[in-house]
Amino acid sequence: MMVKFIHKLASPKYFYHLSGKLLPWLMAMCLLFFLLGLVQGLIYAPVDYQQGHSYRIMFIHVPSAWMSLMIYIIMATAGAIFLIWKIKLAAIIASSSATIGAAFTFIALVTGALWGKPMWGTYWAWDARLTSELILLFLYLGYIALEEAIDDPRSASKACAVLVLVGVVNIPIIHYSVEWWYTLHQGASVSKLDTPSIHISMLIPLLLMTLACKCYYALTILMQARNKILWQEQNTHWVRALITENQSKG
Domain ranges of the chain: 22-187+199-232
Q: What is the pLDDT of residue 186?
A: 62
The residue ranking higher by pLDDT, 128 or 182, is 128
Do residues 141 and 105 touch, judged by C-beta distance below 8 A?
no
Q: Which residues contact 149 (CB under 8 A, 6 or more apart)?
A: 156
Q: What is the pTM of this model?
A: 0.92
Q: What is the pLDDT of residue 196?
A: 61
Q: What is the pLDDT of residue 3?
A: 62
Lowest mean pLDDT among 49-58, 95-104, 181-190, 194-203: 181-190
Q: Which residues contact 183 (CB under 8 A, 6 or more apart)?
A: 127, 128, 129, 130, 177
- For the segment 180-206, what is each residue's pLDDT rounded down to a tens digit? 766 666 655 665 545 566 889 999 999
Phi, psi of 48, deg, nearest 5: -70, 140
Reported confidence tier of residue 176, pLDDT bands at 50, 70, 90: confident
Fold of 22-187+199-232: Four Helix Bundle (Hemerythrin (Met), subunit A) (1.20.120)
Q: Determine the Cα angle at 216 with ends 213 and 219, to 5°.
A: 155
In the chain, what is the straight-line distance between the N-terminal and C-terminal CA atoms, in Å?
A: 38
Q: What is the pLDDT of residue 193?
A: 42
- For the segment 3-12, what is each residue's pLDDT rounded down to a tens digit? 666 677 788 9
The residue ranking higher by pLDDT, 249 or 184, is 249
Lowest mean pLDDT among 30-44, 165-179, 191-205: 191-205
Q: Alpha-carbon distance 58 to 37, whole Å?
A: 12
- For the segment 141-163, what is each residue's pLDDT rounded down to a tens digit? 999 999 999 999 999 999 999 99
CB atoms within 10 A of CB 166: 11
Q: What is the pLDDT of residue 250?
A: 63
Is 92 in a helix, a strand, or coil?
A: helix
The residue ranking higher by pLDDT, 235 or 5, is 235
CB atoms within 10 A of CB 96: 22
Rounded CA Rg of the chain: 20
The residue ranking higher by pLDDT, 191 or 238, is 238
Q: What is the pLDDT of residue 33?
A: 98
Closest CA to 73 of 145, 7, 136, 146: 136
In this structure, is the dihedral angle defined by the CA atoms of residues 78, 81, 83 and 87, taken in order, positive or negative? negative
